[in-house]
A = this chain, B = another copy of it.
Amino acid sequence: MPTGPSLETIRAAHERIRPHIHRTPVFTSRSLDELAGANLFFKCENLQKTGSFKIRGATNAVFSLNDEEARRGVVTHSSGNHAAALAHAARARGIPAWIVMPANSPMAKRKAVERYGGQITLCEPTLAARETAARDLIERTGAVMIHPYNDERVIAGQATAAVELLDQAPDLDFVLAPVSGGGLLSGTAIAAKCLRPQIRVVGCEPANADDAFRSLQAGRILPPEKTDTMADGLRATLCELTFAILRERVDEIALVSEEGIVEAMRSLWERLKLVVEASGAVPAAPAFERRIGAHSAAGRMAGSGQAEGKRVGIILSGGNLDLANLPFK
């Protein structure tokens, strides 16, 4: 039996979260199609409530709790969008959310957590410090941990973006999503392959934080060698759950340079007039650079063929960033 939530579970998640999320629009652009040599369909999760897809998984997790669990509240550690999403979801259910954030999180993301009523605990920017702070909170409050991706309820929620995309843009040949901890890509891969088995699923990752690429090549989870990417949402690593799902369902990991991220952001801002954060622009880069399929020969990932003339769905995962610190020169 395949790993992760089933399509039935994903459909139930969609019904559960529908009152609390936007069905985000799908944008197209003739000039970006010319750039890519393909027909691109941009799923605008930057226009989602809280500014990212993360509200889908967080809301499904929060509304899946029974009343007794929910009463004690929820806790998580996150550098950003999952934090705001969990705060929003908790407020929607009327329960408290405790959020552990590294002290170097972007100010825009901290403000968002506060706006939705989340209670922030700042910590050192290391995984160990985050986990310790979260454990302390759980001991003190009895709150339930909602991990940003190591959670089938979260993955089922994230999968609903692809369910909508395939409905809004039928007959896609490819679907591209960013990969970090693997929650969005896992959900995307399960939903897309269930609904359209012939679709090619491409995870997109900064070359400067390429642990998913290397892990899938090696056949085991490798620790990150580096995470010095401007895509601050893509510095996490796979867990056993997401690793197993990606091994089964993902056809290719495309690596993206830092320059490629800036160029993709610029093209999206200039042509679509959309504010997309660096992490959210990552899956657009391989399409704009006509490199889908280019990584397939390098290792274990099966060749997915070129995307020329094909229909390509791209999940623009978020739009939260500090306007005072933009990469355009």
> Which A residues are closer than 8 A to B by beta carbons?
25, 31, 46-47, 51, 108, 115, 266, 269-270, 272-276, 319, 323-324, 326, 328-329
Contact = CB atoms under 8 A, between A and B. Distances in A.
Contact of A275 (B115, B275, B329): B275
Nearest to A316: B273
B273 A51 contact: yes
A319 B329 CA distance: 18
Given A25-B25, A31-B115, A115-B31, A323 B270 contact: yes
Number of copies: 2
Contacts of A275: 269-270, 273-275
A56 B165 CA distance: 30
Contacts of A323: 266, 269-270, 326, 328
> Which of A274, A326, A329 has the most chain B CB within a 10 Å cutoff?
A274
> Which of A115, A275, A319, A326 has the most chain B CB within a 10 Å cutoff?
A275
A273 B326 contact: no
Contacts of A115: 31
Contacts of A31: 115
B108 A270 contact: yes
Contacts of A326: 323, 326, 328
Given A273-B47, A273-B51, A324 B319 contact: no
Nearest to A112: B270
B274 A273 contact: yes
A50 to B, nearest CB: 11
A35 to B, nearest CB: 12
A46 B269 CA distance: 11
> Which of A46, A272, A276, A323 has the most chain B CB within a 10 Å cutoff?
A323
A36 B47 CA distance: 20
10 contacts: A25-B25, A47-B273, A51-B273, A273-B274, A273-B319, A323-B326, A323-B328, A324-B329, A326-B326, A326-B328
A31 B269 CA distance: 22
A206 to B, nearest CB: 21
A324 B265 CA distance: 13
Given A274-B275, A275-B275, A326-B328, 6 more contacts: A25-B25, A47-B272, A108-B270, A266-B323, A323-B328, A326-B326
A273 B323 CA distance: 11
A124 to B, nearest CB: 28
> Which of A115, A266, A269, A270 has the most chain B CB within a 10 Å cutoff?
A270
Contacts of A319: 273
A53 to B, nearest CB: 13
Q: Which 9 A-B pairs have the closest CB atoms?
A: A273-B319, A323-B328, A273-B275, A46-B273, A269-B275, A324-B328, A47-B273, A324-B329, A269-B323
Nearest to A47: B273
